[in-house]
């Protein structure tokens, strides 16, 4: 399990955000992240998801985040 503030910090550290919401959907390992960023301009939805998954990759691999 990872704290929501840590997820926010990691995302903000890597990309510019104009809006960021991190929501625990189920007990700390199912997380919803809503990000609005100028870094997503001209990127497909798949590319945007890859950026976030890359940022949170260590947490995904360790199962601290099971579903994102």
pLDDT, tens only, 9-67: 999 999 999 999 999 998 878 999 999 999 999 999 999 999 999 999 999 999 999 99
φ, ψ dihedrals at 39, nearest 5°: -65, -15
How many whole angstroms separate alpha carbon 10 and alpha carbon 33? 12
- State the pLDDT at residue 22: 96
CB atoms within 10 A of CB 23: 10
- Give the count of alpha carbons within 13 A of 31, CB side only: 26
Q: Is the pTM of this model over 0.85?
A: yes
- State the pLDDT at residue 10: 97
């Amino acid at each position: 399990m990872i704290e929501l503030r840590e997820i926010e910090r990691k995302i903000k550290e890597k990309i510019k955000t104009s809006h960021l919401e991190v929501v625990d959907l189920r007990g700390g390992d199912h997380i919803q992240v809503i990000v609005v960023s100028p870094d997503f301009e001209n990127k497909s939805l798949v590319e945007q998801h890859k950026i976030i998954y890359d940022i949170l990759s260590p947490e995904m691999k360790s199962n601290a985040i099971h579903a994102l």
